[in-house]
Chain A
Amino acid sequence: MTASARPQSWPFDTVLIANRGEIAARLVRTVQRLGMKAVVVYHSADRETLAVHTADQAVEITGTPPVAAYLNAAQILSVAKATSCGAIHPGYGFLSENAVFARAVEMAGLVFIGPTPEQIELMGDKVRARGFVERAGFPVATSAIEDDDPATFAHRARCLGTPLLIKPSAGGGGKGMHIVRDLALLQTEIERARSEAERYFGDGRLYVERYIERPRHIEVQVLGDNYGNVVHVFERDCSLQRRFQKIVEETPSPALTPQQRQHICETAAGIVRSARYRNAGTVEFIFGSSGEFYFLEMNTRLQVEHPVTEEVTGLDLVEEQLRIAAGEPLRYSQAEIQSRGHAIELRLYAEDPAHGYAPTIGPILALHPPHGENVRWDSGIVRGSEVTSAFDPMLAKLIVRGSNRVDAIRRADQALRQTVLLGCKTNIAFLRRLIAHPAFVAGDVHTGFLEESWQIAAEPVMSVSKLQALLAAAALSTRPMVGGADAVPKLHAAMGSWRN
Chain B
Amino acid sequence: MHHGFKLDDTEYSVELSRGRNGYRLHFDGVTPEVHLSSAADTRRWLTVGGQRFEVVIATRGDDVFVHLDGEVHHLRYRHPLDRLRAQSQISAEDSLRAPMPGTLVAIRVAAGDVVTRGQQLLVMESMKMETILVAARDGLVAAVHYDTGRTFDRDALLLSLEPRATAPT
| Chain A residues near B (Cβ < 8 Å) | 65, 173-175, 192, 195-196, 199-200, 243, 245, 354-356, 358-363, 365-366, 368, 388-390, 392-393, 416-418, 420-423, 425-426, 428-429, 432, 459, 464-478, 480-482, 484-486, 488-489
Interface string of B1-30 (1 = CB under 8 A from A): 001010110001011111000010101101
Say yes or no: is B134 at the interface (Cβ < 8 Å to chain A).
Answer: no
Q: Write out the residue numbers on chain A whose beta carbons fall within 8 Å of the beta carbon of B36.
A: 472-473, 476-477
Check B66–A428 contact: CB distance below 8 A.
no
Check A470–B66 contact: CB distance below 8 A.
yes
Check A472–B67 contact: CB distance below 8 A.
no
Check B27–A468 contact: CB distance below 8 A.
yes
Check A65–B149 contact: CB distance below 8 A.
yes
Check B68–A470 contact: CB distance below 8 A.
yes
Q: Write out the residue numbers on chain A whose beta carbons fall within 8 Å of the beta carbon of B58.
A: 365-366, 422-423
Check A477–B102 contact: CB distance below 8 A.
no
Q: Write out the residue numbers on chain B whose beta carbons fall within 8 Å of the beta carbon of A459.
A: 8
Q: Write out the residue numbers on chain A whose beta carbons fall within 8 Å of the beta carbon of B18.
A: 485-486, 488-489
Check A393–B127 contact: CB distance below 8 A.
yes
List B18-55 residues whose CB lies under 8 Å from chain A: 18, 23, 25, 27-28, 30, 32, 34-36, 42, 46, 48-49, 51, 53, 55
- Best-surrounded residue of B32, B51, B73, B103 (most CB of chain A within 10 A): B73
Say yes or no: is B120 at the interface (Cβ < 8 Å to chain A).
Answer: no
Shortest A214–chain B CB gap in Å is 23
Which chain A residue has the least Cβ–Cβ distance from B77?
A478
Shortest B94–chain A CB gap in Å is 22
Known: A477-B59, A484-B3. 5 other contacts (CB 8 A): A65-B149, A366-B56, A389-B153, A467-B12, A474-B66
Q: Write out the residue numbers on chain B whose beta carbons fall within 8 Å of the beta carbon of A488.
A: 17-18
Which chain A residue has the least Cβ–Cβ distance from B25?
A472
Known A-B contacts A195-B130, A481-B3, A484-B16; the reply to A475 vs B34 at CB < 8 A is yes
Say yes or no: is B126 at the interface (Cβ < 8 Å to chain A).
Answer: yes
Known A-B contacts A358-B154, A359-B127, A476-B23; the reply to A425 vs B74 at CB < 8 A is yes
Interface string of B74-91 (1 = CB under 8 A from A): 110101000000000000
Shortest A28–chain B CB gap in Å is 25
Check B126–A422 contact: CB distance below 8 A.
no
Check B46–A469 contact: CB distance below 8 A.
yes
Interchain residue pairs A-B with the least CB separation, the first 6: A417-B70, A358-B100, A365-B58, A422-B65, A422-B58, A389-B101
Complex Cα distance A481/B100, Å? Answer: 30
Complex Cα distance A388/B126, Å? Answer: 11
Say yes or no: is B118 at the interface (Cβ < 8 Å to chain A).
Answer: no
Q: Write out the residue numbers on chain B whose beta carbons fall within 8 Å of the beta carbon of A389.
A: 101-103, 126-127, 151, 153
30 A-B residue pairs with Cβ-Cβ distance under 8 Å, sorted by A, are: A243-B128, A355-B99, A358-B99, A358-B100, A363-B60, A365-B65, A366-B42, A368-B42, A388-B151, A389-B102, A389-B127, A389-B151, A420-B56, A423-B65, A428-B72, A465-B51, A468-B25, A470-B68, A471-B12, A473-B57, A474-B75, A474-B77, A475-B3, A475-B23, A475-B25, A476-B35, A482-B16, A485-B17, A485-B23, A486-B18
Q: Write out the residue numbers on chain A whose beta carbons fall within 8 Å of the beta carbon of B64.
A: 473-474, 477-478
Say yes or no: is B129 at the interface (Cβ < 8 Å to chain A).
Answer: yes
Shortest A167–chain B CB gap in Å is 13
Complex Cα distance A488/B23, Å? Answer: 12
Complex Cα distance A428/B70, Å? Answer: 9
Q: Write out the residue numbers on chain B whose beta carbons fall within 8 Å of the beta carbon of A175.
A: 128
Complex Cα distance A390/B103, Å? Answer: 9
Complex Cα distance A272/B75, Å? Answer: 51
Check B71–A429 contact: CB distance below 8 A.
yes
Partner of A468, one of B48, B63, B74: B48
Q: Write out the residue numbers on chain A whose beta carbons fall within 8 Å of the beta carbon of B34.
A: 472, 475-476
Check A470–B128 contact: CB distance below 8 A.
no
Complex Cα distance A422/B72, Å? Answer: 7
Shortest A442–chain B CB gap in Å is 23
Check A420–B67 contact: CB distance below 8 A.
yes
Shortest B89–chain A CB gap in Å is 21
Complex Cα distance A176/B77, Å? Answer: 38
Complex Cα distance A195/B46, Å? Answer: 51
Complex Cα distance A88/B16, Å? Answer: 58
Interface string of B107-134 (1 = CB under 8 A from A): 0000000000000000001111110000
Complex Cα distance A200/B129, Å? Answer: 11
Q: Write out the residue numbers on chain A whose beta carbons fall within 8 Å of the beta carbon of B101.
A: 358-361, 389
Check A471–B14 contact: CB distance below 8 A.
yes
Check A355–B100 contact: CB distance below 8 A.
yes
Q: Write out the residue numbers on chain A whose beta carbons fall within 8 Å of the beta carbon of B3.
A: 475, 478, 480-481, 484
Q: Write out the residue numbers on chain A whose beta carbons fall within 8 Å of the beta carbon of B53.
A: 469, 473
Q: Write out the residue numbers on chain B whose beta carbons fall within 8 Å of the beta carbon of A481.
A: 3, 14-16, 77
Complex Cα distance A388/B154, Å? Answer: 11
- Best-surrounded residue of B53, B75, B101, B154 (most CB of chain A within 10 A): B101
Say yes or no: is B158 at the interface (Cβ < 8 Å to chain A).
Answer: no
Check A468–B66 contact: CB distance below 8 A.
no
Q: Write out the residue numbers on chain A whose beta carbons fall within 8 Å of the beta carbon of B68.
A: 466, 469-470, 473
Complex Cα distance A185/B58, Å? Answer: 47
Which chain B residue has the least Cβ–Cβ distance from A392?
B127
Which chain A residue has the least Cβ–Cβ distance from B42?
A366
Complex Cα distance A354/B71, Å? Answer: 14
Which chain A residue has the least Cβ–Cβ distance from B44?
A473
Which chain A residue has the least Cβ–Cβ distance from B34?
A472
- Best-surrounded residue of A416, A418, A474 (most CB of chain B within 10 A): A474
Check A469–B48 contact: CB distance below 8 A.
yes
Known A-B contacts A196-B130, A365-B58, A392-B127; the reply to A473 vs B72 at CB < 8 A is no
Which chain B residue has the least Cβ–Cβ distance from A195?
B130
